[in-house]
Chains A and B, each alone.
Chain A
Amino acid sequence: QKEVEQDPGPLSVPEGAIVSLNCTYSNSAFQYFMWYRQYSRKGPELLMYTYSSGNKEDGRFTAQVDKSSKYISLFIRDSQPSDSATYLCAMSAVGDDKIIFGKGTRLHILP
């Protein structure tokens, strides 16, 4: 079982829809959870950074962590064509130097 699993997509949704992106993980020691957005030919951009369980909201983006299910989500409200990108989840444990990334989900927002 891989440490972090993420559906590669592509996921195509119409403009204005709510997008749900998800990752599952196997290591219960993970406490830090991150979401990155990566446009083609660019480096990943940090979108959300959360510690332990719960929700965090930033503008149109909401990150959720469910540690009991080892499941994290990123919701994008009022999706725009400019949100079309690859979204990577990442996580690490306290005191651990390594950050483990999912392989990313390709998202297409259709105008």
Chain B
Amino acid sequence: KAGVTQTPRYLIKTRGQQVTLSCSPISGHRSVSWYQQTPGQGLQFLFEYFSETQRNKGNFPGRFSGRQFSNSRSEMNVSTLELGDSALYLCASSLAPAGSSSYEQYFGPGTRLTVT
């Protein structure tokens, strides 16, 4: 069974630009969560999608947005990039939504975004 895939794996952008990251969950998984990982802050929750609906959002500015398609694939968009957005962006998928007793999430390899 294929794991979670993320594209691209590496990305370099300049301040002010926007970026779109893609995540394909494990087949059959309907929950997709996005996280930002930095050395200083660790893993921070961005948002979760389940069946195309955003269920929850972390404490990030509105420049961070996402969506989920009917095939459960998800995209994350960051507009007006800032230097502080440089991070590893991780996507995780699960059969059940977060907070349920059968919630087990599996992470992709991440997209490393560098903003210059």
Where the two chains meet, the residues of A that have a C-beta atom closer than 8 Å to any C-beta of B are 32, 34, 36, 41-46, 49, 51, 88, 90, 92-104
Q: Which of B35, B98, B104, B107 is within 8 Å of A97, CB to CB?
A: B98
CA distance A98 to B98 in the complex (A): 7
B6, closest chain A residue (CB) = A43
Please give me the residue from chain A that is nearest to B90 by CB atom. Answer: A43
Q: Complex formed: what's the CA distance from A92 to B48 in Å?
A: 14
Alpha-carbon gap, A102 to B44, bound state (A)? 10
**Interface of B toward A, CB cutoff 8 Å:** 4, 33, 35, 41-45, 48, 55-56, 58, 90, 92, 97-99, 101, 103-110
Query: Which of A36, A51, A99, A104 meets B45, CB within 8 Å?
Result: A99
Cross-chain contact B105 with A46 (CB below 8 angstroms): yes
Instruction: Among A49, A88, A92, A97, point to the contact of B43 (Cβ < 8 A).
Output: A88
- Whether the Cβ atoms of A97 and B4 lie closer than 8 Å is no
Known: A97-B56, A98-B58, A101-B43. A46 touches B99 (CB 8 A): no
User: Are the C-beta atoms of B98 and A51 separated by less than 8 Å?
Assistant: no
Contact A44 B109 (CB under 8 A): no
Alpha-carbon distance between A104 and B107 when the two chains are bound, in angstroms: 16
Chain A contacts of B90 at CB under 8 A?
Answer: 43-44
Residues of chain B within 8 A (CB-CB) of A94 are 99, 101
A49 vs B104: C-alpha distance in the bound complex, in angstroms? Answer: 7
Residues of B within 8 A of A36 (CB): 107
B98 / chain A contacts, CB cutoff of 8 Å: 92, 96-99
How far is the CB of A21 from the nearest CB of chain B, in Å?
A: 15
Asked whether A97 and B42 contact (CB < 8 A) given A43-B4, A46-B105, the answer is no
| Bound complex: CA A88 to CA B55 (Å) | 24
